[in-house]
A and B are shown apart, each in its own frame.
Chain A
Amino acid sequence: DIVMTQSPDSMAVSLGERATINCKSSQSVLHSSNNKNRLAWYQQKPGQPPKLLISWASTRESGVPERFSGSGSGTDFTLAISSLQAEDVADYYCQQYYITPITFGQGTRLEIK
């Protein structure tokens, strides 16, 4: 199984500041069929289901604010929020879809400092 490890487990960032969450996979999720990384990011607010933010490591979903960006390749990935807003308080998860079993990171809780 591919193990996904996020860091940090939790973080507090001031409004307007940059937040960065890291995700590391135990093996590469770069798929040779299309040379794309099979890595997604989700946001989950309290009491709500997860929401897809980013697919293919860096493709922002329609309607997701531009302050969210994804980067990385192979085994190391980053979700960045360029200027933290109050509504960004949530848990964030990375997920690999390179192979089943599909696996998620343990989550990162983002709060306001």
Chain B
Amino acid sequence: EVQLVESGGGLVQPGGSLRLSCAASGFTFSSHWMHWVRQAPGKGLVWVSRLNDDGTRTSYADFVRGRFTISRDNAKNTLYLQMNSLRADDTAVYYCAKYYCSGGDCYGYMDAWGKGTTVTVSS
């Protein structure tokens, strides 16, 4: 069974930093591209970032570029999101999600999601 478990959320002051983790199991993590998606309270889903299988190709939403860094440790089956210079509007539940990958091809729809970790940016 595919499992994605996020951790690392919490309350942080504006301008602060957090590192989110996503522990993966039940699939070959090192073969899958991964996403981070967020959802502000009462709002819709917003894509944040994605990373390819070997960690060499990243993509970011404009509103986090230069502040957030996505990375992975395939030996630990873990995805990360380093968040710096946090702002109040970064307050959200952050989900990691798995790309659908088959036969070496990966497509950007999300066939498994974690339950999310909550980040609150407030003084």
What is A's interface to B at a CB cutoff of 8 Å?
A: 38, 40, 42, 44, 48-52, 55, 61, 91, 93, 95, 97, 100-107
Contacts and interface: CB of A to CB of B under 8 A. Distances in A.
Given A49-B116, A55-B100, A55-B109, A100 B46 contact: no
A71 to B, nearest CB: 17
Interface string B81-118: 00000000000000100001000000111111111100
A97 B109 contact: yes
Interface size class of chain B, counting residues whose CB lies under 8 Å from the partner chain: 20 to 34
Interface of B: 35, 44-47, 50, 59-62, 95, 100, 107-116
Contacts of A61: 111
A5 to B, nearest CB: 12
Contacts of A91: 44
Mostly helix, strand, loop or mixed at chain B's interface? strand
Contact of B110 (A48, A50, A103, A107): A50
Nearest to B47: A102
B45 A104 contact: yes
Given A55-B100, A100-B50, A104-B46, A49 B111 contact: no
Report the 4 A-B pairs with minimum CB-CB distance, sorted nearest first. A97-B108, A40-B109, A49-B113, A102-B47
Contact of B44 (A40, A55, A104): A104
A40 B95 CA distance: 17
A24 to B, nearest CB: 16
A104 B116 CA distance: 18
Given A49-B95, A49-B114, A101-B61, A93 B109 contact: no
A102 B106 CA distance: 14
Given A50-B110, A51-B113, A55-B109, A42 B59 contact: no
A101 B49 CA distance: 8
